[in-house]
Amino acid sequence: MEKRNKEASALRTFFGEQWNYLLGLIQERQRFDDSTVEQKQQLTEAVEHIVDIVDSRIRGVGRYRNKLRCSVRDLLFYVQNMIDELPEALELDNNSYIDEPLINSIFSSSNELKILLSQSEEICNFIQPSVLDESSHIYALLFSIMEQKTIFGNEIRAELIQRDIPQTAIHFHEHKIVAPTLNEHDLRSSLKRILFESAVASIRSNMVKLRHSQVQDEKQLSTLHPEQNINNPEVYLKLLVEQLSMPASVIALQSNTINVSKMGILLPKESGQSSNKLQLYELAMEGNYSQVVTLIKFKWGEWLR
């Protein structure tokens, strides 16, 4: 009897936690639904933008805006949640290469970081010396491509040097500064727009593939019922709604913690070696993780002299 009571109590606790989690999601959704006039206008603009990008013939379908509204809102909500996961902007200064494990691992030297910031065309075009003094902070997105490859190196095991041990080398390259601005709120808004545009572009690509796969056999296409023919705007709109309702299949943000040695070798989490512990946020487009995104801020006068 006592065992059953404990099991029942555990189940009540579990379902209670799940219910609270569900309520939280509902409240978040309601907060998003109970939008201002401005937000409703932004949603309408997002719907129209998607129609422009994907296929403007959708406008021939009655009440197309209403049919798209929920799935587009879900996409915006999904993208916003991705951005909310990102930590505050990382401040860069002359000591960042030494003090910040992430910067130490992403860049090969402090000079590489300085060259990136001082020669960034986006930053140079953004700066207005008449408006900004040298102590003003600039916020920006730092994108880097991370690659892993297997190499063979030496390891010390049981105080003996073992040779030709397979190791995973981590390499960051193609660093890019994007969307400089004067505050973090605007920076996150820029990232939201970038991710939204990327998702829409991927969805458009998927829709083109779907249409192409069906129209390859024109004879088969002519025999299809109108409710199955992708050239029917109603059918096309329905497929688009399905695509918009699965945003994780086209874009995702994965948080990943790794240990990397000073030589750029991936180490086990329990390794006792000196290493940089990195919290990475990797963007995936259609399942392929490659771009690491970092929010940064810096005083432009320290880097652009």
- On whether residue 41 sits in a domain, the answer given is no
* Number of domains within the chain: 2
Distance (Å, whole) CA 124 – CA 127: 5
- On whether residue 244 sits in a domain, the answer given is yes
| Pair (219, 83) in one structural domain | yes
Mean pLDDT across the stretch 185-192?
Answer: 96
When pLDDT is cut at 50, 70 and 90, the band that residue 264 belongs to is confident
- On whether residue 40 sits in a domain, the answer given is no
Secondary structure of the chain: what % helix, strand, coil (to 5)? 50, 25, 20
Residue 250 has phi, psi (to 5 degrees) of -115, -25
pLDDT of residue 34: 46
- On whether residue 109 sits in a domain, the answer given is yes
- On whether residue 137 sits in a domain, the answer given is yes
pLDDT of residue 39: 81
- On whether residue 125 sits in a domain, the answer given is yes
- The range of the structural domain enclosing residue 109 comes to 49-305
195-237 pLDDT tens trace: 999 999 999 999 998 887 766 565 565 565 666 677 788 889 9
**SS3 state of residue 142:** strand
When pLDDT is cut at 50, 70 and 90, the band that residue 167 belongs to is confident
- pLDDT over 80 (residue 32): no
- On whether residue 42 sits in a domain, the answer given is no
Q: Distance of CA 48 to CAs 38, 59, 201, 209, Å?
A: 15, 9, 14, 22
- On whether residue 27 sits in a domain, the answer given is yes
- pLDDT over 50 (residue 16): yes
| Pair (29, 108) in one structural domain | no
